[in-house]
Amino acid sequence: MKHDISGRHTREFSHRDYKTLKHELNRRNVLIPIFLSSVALVAIVFILQELNLYITKISGSSALIFASFASSAFTLLLMPYSKAAKRKRFVKSYIIAAVFGYLGFQLSTYINFYFSFSIVFFVVSLLLFETDSEHPPALGIAAAFLLFGVPAEGIITIALGVALLVLLKTLFQRLGVLSKSSAFRVR
């Protein structure tokens, strides 16, 4: 047993041990996380649509944004031991992607759209890496802001969606229907 920074006991696994553990846990408990990820996504879509936020009225953007949330729900609830499933990474990645996606759209009014697109994806990818917040579905958020010209209010919508998904993951873990990933670390 090793201790993490906070003094909690952690187990360190090789990649092979991790895969064995993951498959063993998933074989026994795969239906509950799949069901809960579906519930989480439906709740996010319903709440954001019912709040009638501006972002849901922009043709195409809501589809891309909700697809990103679906990927994130899958990662957070069905792959809780992966690095991308950490709450801190998820939250930071979506905020970075939304803010720089919005700034990229604003930039595209002054320079070539494709050049702006490449700048934003470079900057967002670099920031996700440098801030240790790699969560691949977040790039879909940046793309939605760029492609569909989502306004600044869209950042609030993204933050609300992120908060809802984190809240649901925490609730599911507290109820005991999802395992906590903090006790495991992959080498």
pLDDT digits (tens, 9 = 90+) for 41-99: 888 878 877 776 655 555 566 777 888 888 898 888 878 778 888 889 999 999 999 99
* Within-domain flag for 152: yes
For residues 173, 179, 182, 186, the Cα torsion angle rounded to the nearest 10 degrees is -150
* Within-domain flag for 187: no
pTM greater than 0.85 (yes/no): no
Angle at 103 between CA 120 and CA 73, to 5 degrees: 70
What range does the domain containing 152 cover?
A: 15-181
Tell which wins on pLDDT, 145 or 6: 145
Residue 177 CB contacts under 8 Å (≥ 6 apart), including other chains: 32, 36
* Within-domain flag for 10: no
- Tell me the average pLDDT across 26-40: 73
| 3-state percent helix, strand, coil for the chain, nearest multiple of 5 | 70, 5, 25
* Within-domain flag for 7: no
Q: Count how many domains the chain has.
A: 1
Q: What is the mean pLDDT of the chain?
A: 79
Q: Which of 18-27, 120-129, 139-148 has the highest mean pLDDT?
A: 120-129
* Within-domain flag for 3: no
- Tell me the average pLDDT across 101-120: 92
* Within-domain flag for 1: no
User: Among 22-31, 69-78, 119-128, whose mean pLDDT is lowest?
Assistant: 22-31
136 has pLDDT over 80: yes
What's at 42, amino acid-wise? V
Q: Percent of the chain, pLDDT > 90?
A: 26
